[in-house]
Protein backbone atom coordinates (compact mmCIF):
# COMPACT_ATOMS: atom_id res chain seq x y z
CA UNK A 1 0.00 0.00 0.00
CA UNK A 2 1.33 3.38 -0.97
CA UNK A 3 2.02 5.97 1.74
CA UNK A 4 -0.82 8.17 0.42
CA UNK A 5 -3.39 5.37 0.69
CA UNK A 6 -2.11 4.45 4.14
CA UNK A 7 -2.55 8.09 5.27
CA UNK A 8 -6.11 8.24 3.90
CA UNK A 9 -7.00 4.96 5.61
CA UNK A 10 -5.60 6.23 8.92
CA UNK A 11 -7.60 9.46 8.63
CA UNK A 12 -10.80 7.53 7.90
CA UNK A 13 -10.10 5.22 10.83
CA UNK A 14 -9.95 8.24 13.17
CA UNK A 15 -12.75 10.35 11.62
CA UNK A 16 -15.51 7.75 11.28
CA UNK A 17 -15.88 7.03 15.02
CA UNK A 18 -15.74 10.75 15.71
CA UNK A 19 -18.46 11.44 13.18
CA UNK A 20 -20.55 8.64 14.58
CA UNK A 21 -20.05 9.96 18.11
CA UNK A 22 -20.94 13.46 16.98
CA UNK A 23 -24.10 12.17 15.29
CA UNK A 24 -25.02 10.30 18.45
CA UNK A 25 -24.50 13.43 20.49
CA UNK A 26 -26.67 15.46 18.12
CA UNK A 27 -29.51 12.93 18.28
CA UNK A 28 -29.51 12.77 22.09
CA UNK A 29 -32.47 14.59 23.71
CA UNK A 30 -31.91 17.92 25.40
CA UNK A 31 -32.30 17.76 29.17
CA UNK A 32 -34.23 20.47 30.98
CA UNK A 33 -33.65 20.52 34.73
CA UNK A 34 -37.01 21.91 35.89
CA UNK A 35 -38.02 23.36 39.22
CA UNK A 36 -41.38 24.76 40.37
CA UNK A 37 -41.58 26.99 43.43
CA UNK A 38 -45.01 27.87 44.78
CA UNK A 39 -45.49 31.52 45.68
CA UNK A 40 -49.19 31.98 46.30
CA UNK A 41 -52.37 29.94 46.68
CA UNK A 42 -55.61 31.67 45.77
CA UNK A 43 -59.12 30.42 46.36
CA UNK A 44 -59.82 26.67 46.49
CA UNK A 45 -63.21 25.77 45.03
CA UNK A 46 -64.40 22.46 46.43
CA UNK A 47 -67.42 22.39 44.12
CA UNK A 48 -65.41 22.39 40.87
CA UNK A 49 -62.15 20.95 42.22
CA UNK A 50 -60.24 24.02 41.02
CA UNK A 51 -57.60 26.14 42.70
CA UNK A 52 -55.62 29.26 41.83
CA UNK A 53 -51.83 29.11 41.97
CA UNK A 54 -48.94 31.46 41.35
CA UNK A 55 -45.51 29.86 40.99
CA UNK A 56 -42.07 30.23 39.43
CA UNK A 57 -40.82 27.81 36.78
CA UNK A 58 -37.03 27.53 36.55
CA UNK A 59 -35.27 25.66 33.74
CA UNK A 60 -31.55 24.91 33.71
CA UNK A 61 -29.70 23.05 30.98
CA UNK A 62 -26.06 22.48 30.11
CA UNK A 63 -27.04 21.01 26.73
CA UNK A 64 -28.14 24.26 25.11
CA UNK A 65 -27.45 27.99 25.17
CA UNK A 66 -30.85 29.64 25.69
CA UNK A 67 -29.62 32.96 24.30
CA UNK A 68 -28.88 31.27 20.96
CA UNK A 69 -31.55 28.54 21.04
CA UNK A 70 -34.45 29.90 23.10
CA UNK A 71 -36.61 27.40 25.02
CA UNK A 72 -40.27 26.96 24.00
CA UNK A 73 -42.32 30.06 24.66
CA UNK A 74 -45.20 27.98 26.00
CA UNK A 75 -45.60 24.74 27.90
CA UNK A 76 -48.68 22.59 28.24
CA UNK A 77 -50.05 22.64 31.80
CA UNK A 78 -52.27 19.64 31.24
CA UNK A 79 -54.49 19.96 34.31
CA UNK A 80 -55.34 23.64 33.99
CA UNK A 81 -54.85 26.83 32.06
CA UNK A 82 -52.47 29.77 32.34
CA UNK A 83 -53.91 33.22 32.82
CA UNK A 84 -50.66 35.17 32.77
CA UNK A 85 -46.88 34.72 32.42
CA UNK A 86 -44.57 37.43 33.78
CA UNK A 87 -41.02 37.94 35.02
CA UNK A 88 -39.41 36.04 32.15
CA UNK A 89 -35.60 35.93 32.41
CA UNK A 90 -33.24 34.17 29.99
CA UNK A 91 -29.51 33.55 30.41
CA UNK A 92 -27.21 31.14 28.52
CA UNK A 93 -28.15 28.09 30.60
CA UNK A 94 -30.90 29.50 32.77
CA UNK A 95 -34.54 30.36 32.02
CA UNK A 96 -37.15 31.50 34.51
CA UNK A 97 -40.75 32.76 34.37
CA UNK A 98 -43.72 33.29 36.67
CA UNK A 99 -47.08 31.60 36.05
CA UNK A 100 -50.51 32.55 37.31
CA UNK A 101 -53.27 30.10 36.46
CA UNK A 102 -56.20 27.93 37.48
CA UNK A 103 -55.70 24.20 37.88
CA UNK A 104 -57.88 21.17 38.53
CA UNK A 105 -57.43 17.90 40.35
CA UNK A 106 -59.64 15.19 41.82
CA UNK A 107 -60.36 15.85 45.49
CA UNK A 108 -61.15 13.22 48.12
CA UNK A 109 -63.66 14.51 50.66
CA UNK A 110 -64.12 11.33 52.70
CA UNK A 111 -62.49 13.01 55.71
CA UNK A 112 -64.37 16.30 55.30
CA UNK A 113 -64.22 18.65 57.21
CA UNK A 114 -60.67 17.42 57.96
CA UNK A 115 -59.80 16.72 54.34
CA UNK A 116 -56.33 16.89 52.74
CA UNK A 117 -56.20 18.12 49.17
CA UNK A 118 -53.55 17.60 46.51
CA UNK A 119 -52.91 20.82 44.57
CA UNK A 120 -51.09 19.34 41.59
CA UNK A 121 -49.35 20.97 38.64
CA UNK A 122 -48.74 18.88 35.50
CA UNK A 123 -46.38 20.30 32.88
CA UNK A 124 -45.37 18.97 29.44
CA UNK A 125 -43.79 20.42 26.30
CA UNK A 126 -45.92 20.88 23.21
CA UNK A 127 -45.52 18.83 20.05
CA UNK A 128 -43.07 18.31 18.30
CA UNK A 129 -40.88 18.35 21.43
CA UNK A 130 -41.35 14.65 22.13
CA UNK A 131 -39.26 12.76 24.66
CA UNK A 132 -36.64 11.88 22.04
CA UNK A 133 -35.98 15.62 21.69
CA UNK A 134 -36.65 17.06 25.14
CA UNK A 135 -36.50 15.42 28.58
CA UNK A 136 -37.48 16.90 31.95
CA UNK A 137 -35.61 16.17 35.16
CA UNK A 138 -36.38 17.45 38.65
CA UNK A 139 -34.33 20.35 39.96
CA UNK A 140 -34.65 20.09 43.75
CA UNK A 141 -32.81 23.36 44.37
CA UNK A 142 -35.47 25.42 42.59
CA UNK A 143 -38.49 23.38 43.70
CA UNK A 144 -40.47 23.94 46.86
CA UNK A 145 -42.49 26.62 48.60
CA UNK A 146 -41.69 30.31 48.75
CA UNK A 147 -41.05 32.01 52.05
CA UNK A 148 -43.46 34.88 51.40
CA UNK A 149 -46.31 35.41 53.87
CA UNK A 150 -48.77 35.32 50.97
CA UNK A 151 -47.95 31.65 50.36
CA UNK A 152 -50.00 30.62 53.39
CA UNK A 153 -53.78 30.53 53.13
CA UNK A 154 -56.10 31.06 56.10
CA UNK A 155 -57.72 27.87 57.34
CA UNK A 156 -55.28 25.54 55.57
CA UNK A 157 -51.97 23.97 56.51
CA UNK A 158 -49.41 23.37 53.74
CA UNK A 159 -47.52 20.07 53.92
CA UNK A 160 -44.29 18.94 52.28
CA UNK A 161 -44.44 19.03 48.46
CA UNK A 162 -43.28 16.28 46.13
CA UNK A 163 -41.94 16.37 42.58
CA UNK A 164 -41.51 13.71 39.93
CA UNK A 165 -40.55 13.53 36.25
CA UNK A 166 -41.81 10.73 34.01
CA UNK A 167 -42.94 9.94 30.45
CA UNK A 168 -46.49 10.14 29.12
CA UNK A 169 -47.55 8.19 26.07
CA UNK A 170 -50.02 9.60 23.57
CA UNK A 171 -51.06 8.38 20.10
CA UNK A 172 -49.08 11.24 18.56
CA UNK A 173 -45.89 10.65 20.60
CA UNK A 174 -44.24 10.26 23.98
CA UNK A 175 -43.67 13.39 26.06
CA UNK A 176 -41.66 14.15 29.16
CA UNK A 177 -43.99 14.94 32.06
CA UNK A 178 -43.24 16.98 35.20
CA UNK A 179 -45.48 16.85 38.26
CA UNK A 180 -45.51 19.05 41.35
CA UNK A 181 -47.80 18.12 44.24
CA UNK A 182 -48.57 20.59 47.01
CA UNK A 183 -50.69 19.04 49.76
CA UNK A 184 -52.83 21.23 51.96
CA UNK A 185 -55.02 20.21 54.88
CA UNK A 186 -57.64 21.98 56.89
CA UNK A 187 -56.74 23.46 60.25
CA UNK A 188 -58.33 20.81 62.48
CA UNK A 189 -59.28 23.01 65.42
CA UNK A 190 -60.80 25.64 63.15
CA UNK A 191 -62.68 23.03 61.11
CA UNK A 192 -64.05 21.39 64.25
CA UNK A 193 -65.23 24.67 65.78
CA UNK A 194 -66.92 25.86 62.59
CA UNK A 195 -68.43 22.65 61.24
CA UNK A 196 -68.92 20.09 64.01
CA UNK A 197 -69.10 22.00 67.27
CA UNK A 198 -72.42 23.70 66.34
CA UNK A 199 -74.00 20.25 65.95
CA UNK A 200 -72.69 19.22 69.38
CA UNK A 201 -74.32 22.33 70.82
CA UNK A 202 -77.66 21.38 69.24
CA UNK A 203 -77.32 17.82 70.52
CA UNK A 204 -76.60 19.15 74.02
CA UNK A 205 -79.60 21.47 73.80
CA UNK A 206 -81.77 18.48 72.84
CA UNK A 207 -80.32 16.36 75.65
CA UNK A 208 -81.10 19.14 78.12
CA UNK A 209 -84.80 18.41 77.59
CA UNK A 210 -84.37 15.53 80.05
CA UNK A 211 -83.87 18.14 82.77
CA UNK A 212 -87.47 19.25 82.38
CA UNK A 213 -90.35 17.50 84.03
CA UNK A 214 -92.27 14.96 81.91
CA UNK A 215 -95.31 17.17 82.53
CA UNK A 216 -93.76 19.81 80.24
CA UNK A 217 -93.94 17.71 77.10
CA UNK A 218 -94.74 20.66 74.86
CA UNK A 219 -91.59 22.52 75.96
CA UNK A 220 -89.47 19.39 75.60
CA UNK A 221 -90.87 18.69 72.17
CA UNK A 222 -90.17 22.27 71.15
CA UNK A 223 -86.52 22.05 72.27
CA UNK A 224 -85.87 18.80 70.40
CA UNK A 225 -87.78 19.86 67.28
CA UNK A 226 -85.94 23.19 67.11
CA UNK A 227 -82.60 21.39 67.48
CA UNK A 228 -83.48 18.84 64.81
CA UNK A 229 -84.61 21.48 62.29
CA UNK A 230 -81.53 23.60 62.96
CA UNK A 231 -79.29 20.58 62.41
CA UNK A 232 -81.00 19.74 59.11
CA UNK A 233 -80.63 23.32 57.91
CA UNK A 234 -76.96 23.42 58.98
CA UNK A 235 -76.27 20.12 57.22
CA UNK A 236 -77.98 20.91 53.92
CA UNK A 237 -77.41 24.65 53.78
CA UNK A 238 -73.82 24.82 54.98
CA UNK A 239 -71.97 21.51 55.04
CA UNK A 240 -73.35 20.05 51.81
CA UNK A 241 -73.27 23.43 50.05
CA UNK A 242 -69.46 23.41 50.10
CA UNK A 243 -69.15 20.05 48.35
CA UNK A 244 -70.02 18.72 44.89
CA UNK A 245 -72.49 15.83 44.58
CA UNK A 246 -70.61 12.85 45.99
CA UNK A 247 -71.22 9.13 45.69
CA UNK A 248 -69.97 8.44 49.21
CA UNK A 249 -70.49 9.68 52.74
CA UNK A 250 -68.07 12.17 54.24
CA UNK A 251 -67.07 12.22 57.89
CA UNK A 252 -69.46 15.15 58.38
CA UNK A 253 -72.32 13.11 56.86
CA UNK A 254 -71.60 10.24 59.25
CA UNK A 255 -71.51 12.65 62.16
CA UNK A 256 -74.85 14.13 61.10
CA UNK A 257 -76.34 10.65 60.73
CA UNK A 258 -75.46 9.96 64.36
CA UNK A 259 -76.83 13.36 65.39
CA UNK A 260 -80.18 12.60 63.75
CA UNK A 261 -80.24 9.27 65.58
CA UNK A 262 -79.57 11.10 68.85
CA UNK A 263 -82.47 13.51 68.27
CA UNK A 264 -84.83 10.61 67.55
CA UNK A 265 -83.78 8.81 70.73
CA UNK A 266 -84.49 11.97 72.71
CA UNK A 267 -88.02 11.95 71.30
CA UNK A 268 -88.72 8.37 72.44
CA UNK A 269 -89.96 9.19 75.99
CA UNK A 270 -92.62 11.56 74.71
CA UNK A 271 -93.70 9.19 71.95
CA UNK A 272 -93.96 6.25 74.34
CA UNK A 273 -95.85 8.33 76.91
CA UNK A 274 -98.43 9.35 74.31
CA UNK A 275 -98.66 5.75 73.10
CA UNK A 276 -99.24 4.27 76.55
CA UNK A 277 -101.72 6.96 77.65
CA UNK A 278 -103.69 7.61 74.46
CA UNK A 279 -103.48 4.28 72.59
CA UNK A 280 -103.10 1.67 75.35
CA UNK A 281 -105.03 3.71 77.97
CA UNK A 282 -102.62 2.69 80.67
CA UNK A 283 -102.21 4.39 84.01
CA UNK A 284 -98.79 5.76 83.09
CA UNK A 285 -97.86 7.81 86.14
CA UNK A 286 -95.27 10.55 86.52
CA UNK A 287 -92.91 8.11 88.26
CA UNK A 288 -93.03 5.81 85.24
CA UNK A 289 -92.19 8.72 82.97
CA UNK A 290 -89.26 9.82 85.15
CA UNK A 291 -87.90 6.26 85.19
CA UNK A 292 -88.16 6.10 81.39
CA UNK A 293 -86.36 9.45 81.08
CA UNK A 294 -83.46 8.14 83.16
CA UNK A 295 -83.11 5.05 80.99
CA UNK A 296 -83.22 7.04 77.73
CA UNK A 297 -80.79 9.64 79.11
CA UNK A 298 -78.26 6.84 79.59
CA UNK A 299 -79.08 5.03 76.36
CA UNK A 300 -78.96 8.09 74.07
CA UNK A 301 -75.19 8.80 74.24
CA UNK A 302 -74.32 5.08 74.45
CA UNK A 303 -76.37 4.11 71.39
CA UNK A 304 -75.12 7.17 69.48
CA UNK A 305 -71.51 6.24 70.22
CA UNK A 306 -72.04 2.68 68.97
CA UNK A 307 -73.81 4.02 65.88
CA UNK A 308 -70.89 6.31 65.10
CA UNK A 309 -68.40 3.44 65.29
CA UNK A 310 -70.56 1.28 63.00
CA UNK A 311 -71.20 4.06 60.50
CA UNK A 312 -67.58 5.18 60.50
CA UNK A 313 -66.17 1.77 59.64
CA UNK A 314 -68.99 0.28 57.56
CA UNK A 315 -70.12 3.22 55.38
> Does the pLDDT value for residue 147 go beyond 90?
no
| Judgement on whether residues 177 and 221 belong to the same structural domain of the protein | no
Whether residue 140 lies inside any domain: the answer is yes
Mean pLDDT of the chain: 89
Tell me the CATH number at 262: 1.20.58.390
Closest CA to 128 of 81, 60, 175: 175
Buried-state track 69-94, b at ≥16 Cβ within 10 A, e below 16: eebeeebbbebbeeeeeeeeeeeeee
Q: Beta strand 144-145 with 162-170: parallel, antiparallel or unpaired?
A: unpaired
Pick the range with the lowest mean pLDDT from 79-83, 138-142, 227-231, 280-284.
280-284
| Judgement on whether residues 167 and 309 belong to the same structural domain of the protein | no
> Does the pLDDT value for residue 12 go beyond 70?
no
Percent of the chain surpassing pLDDT 70: 91
| Judgement on whether residues 32 and 176 belong to the same structural domain of the protein | yes
Omega before 214 within 30 of 0, i.e. cis? no
pLDDT tens track for 218-272 = 899 999 999 999 999 999 999 999 999 999 999 999 999 999 999 999 999 999 9
> Does the pLDDT value for residue 31 go beyond 80?
yes
Give dist(CA 232, CA 227) in Å, integer. 9
Is-contact 208 201, C-beta < 8 A? Answer: no
Confidence of residue 25 (pLDDT cuts 50, 70, 90): very low
What region does 173 belong to: left with phi over 0, alpha with psi -120 to 50, or beta?
Answer: left
pLDDT tens track for 162-182 = 999 999 999 999 999 999 999
| Judgement on whether residues 168 and 201 belong to the same structural domain of the protein | no
Range of the domain at 149: 27-188
Q: pTM (2 decimals)?
A: 0.81
Amino acid sequence: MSPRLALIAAMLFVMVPCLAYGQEQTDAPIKYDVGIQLENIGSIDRQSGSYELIFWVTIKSNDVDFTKNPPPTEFDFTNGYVEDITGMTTEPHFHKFKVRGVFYNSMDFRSYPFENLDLAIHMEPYYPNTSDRLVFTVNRDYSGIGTSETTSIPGWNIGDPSFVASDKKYPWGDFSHYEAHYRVGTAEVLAFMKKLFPILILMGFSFASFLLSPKNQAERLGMISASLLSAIFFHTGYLLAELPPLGYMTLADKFMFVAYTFFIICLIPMILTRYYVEIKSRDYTLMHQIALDKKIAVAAPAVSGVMFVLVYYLL
